[in-house]
Amino acid sequence: MKQVSTFLTSRKVAPYVFLIPFMTLFVLFKVWPAVLAVYMSFQDAQGVRSETWEWVGLANYANVLSNARFQTALRVTTSYTIGTLLVLVPLPLVLAAMLDSGRVVKSTFFRVVLFLPALTSLVVAGTIFRIILSRTGLLNAALEATLGIPPRRWLEVADLTLPSLIMIAAWRWTGINILYFNSGLVNIPRELYEAAAIDGANGVQIFFRITLPLLKPITFFVTILTIIGGYQVFVEPFVLYTTGNSPGNSGLTVALHLYRTAFRDFYLGPAAAMGVILALIICALSLLQFRFFGVFKKEA
């Protein structure tokens, strides 16, 4: 027994002993479900009993890719992801630079206030925005009182579905992205800003010539997270519209369509194929970002 204890607490073995609980959970709840989903995507699986499954090869993938509703869901998801990228990368970057400039009074207070929405549950956020975006909600009242804009049917018109979903994403994730960018800003040497100011560079030139290039790794990180979050969006449309029933399927995302196919219609094979396709799309876009940001380039 003493030999076993000595072996487990040795410097070479102890790290692996501590990793066993994590690796066990990771394999059981991450690796195995992913492997099973890939296997299921090649089966005619309409139930949870594998004895009834029948190998169909690539038929599920062909059916999914040719399905009009999946194409609509993919288009909506891609549009949503692009919209969130246009908001959740430049806006937090500019706000973080402003808060780090030293020209904002009580910048810590603003950081905390902007970060608080990230602590809110997505279900709660969706419910609150369903109230705010209603025809008699706070947003219409504010727009009419300040700008004289007549009430909009945010949740009743297909053209306003994506703007509504992007508003939720902006409200919830802007603060945490500011935090990411701020972690990069604090590591930029102040001497660079002082030297640039002495050379006569203005604030805009300093931002584009010093801040933006040195924040490249953080920008890459935030972009990847935004792409992954955009293509995996599910809770927002599901809660904002009753069980995701948006007007004209304008809020039908791939994850929402996958959920309905698997747990409402019980077509597990096509649902698994959708999951694999979605994973491949995210991986492909992530690799493109790696290439765009020059991650694969070797340093001289």
Give the three-class secondary structure for 299: coil
Fold designation for 65-292? MetI-like fold (1.10.3720)
32 class by beta-carbon count within 10 Å (0-12 exposed, 13-18 middle, 19+ buried)? exposed
Give per-residue pLDDT as tens, 198-215.
888 887 888 888 888 889
Is 66's pLDDT higher than 90? yes
Alpha-carbon dihedral sign for residues 60, 81, 72, 287 = negative
Give the mean pLDDT of 96-102. Answer: 84
pLDDT exceeds cutoff 60 at 7: no
Q: How many CB atoms lie within 10 A of CB 37?
A: 17
Q: How far apart are CA 251 and CA 161, in angstroms?
A: 6
Q: pLDDT grade, residue 293 (50/70/90)?
A: confident
Tokens of 237: 């449309």
**Distant-in-sequence, close-in-space partners of 137: CB < 8 Å, separation ≥ 6:** 131, 154
pLDDT tens, position by position, 245-289: 888 889 999 999 999 998 888 888 999 999 999 999 999 998 888
Which residue do the tokens 């997270």 mark?
A: 225
| 233-248 tens-digit pLDDT | 999 999 888 888 888 8
- Distant-in-sequence, close-in-space partners of 64: CB < 8 Å, separation ≥ 6: 70, 270, 273, 274, 277
CB 73 within 8 A of CB 64: no
CA distance 73 to 39: 23
* pLDDT mean over 101-106: 78
Does 127 score more than 90 pLDDT?
A: no
The residue that leads in pLDDT, 12 or 182, is 182
Where are the chain's structural domains? 65-292
pTM of the predicted model as reported, rounded to 2 decimal places: 0.87
Strand partners, 43: 55
State residue 86's pLDDT score.
95
Closest by Cα among 234, 225, 230 to 257: 234
37, 275 Cβ separation under 8 angstroms: yes
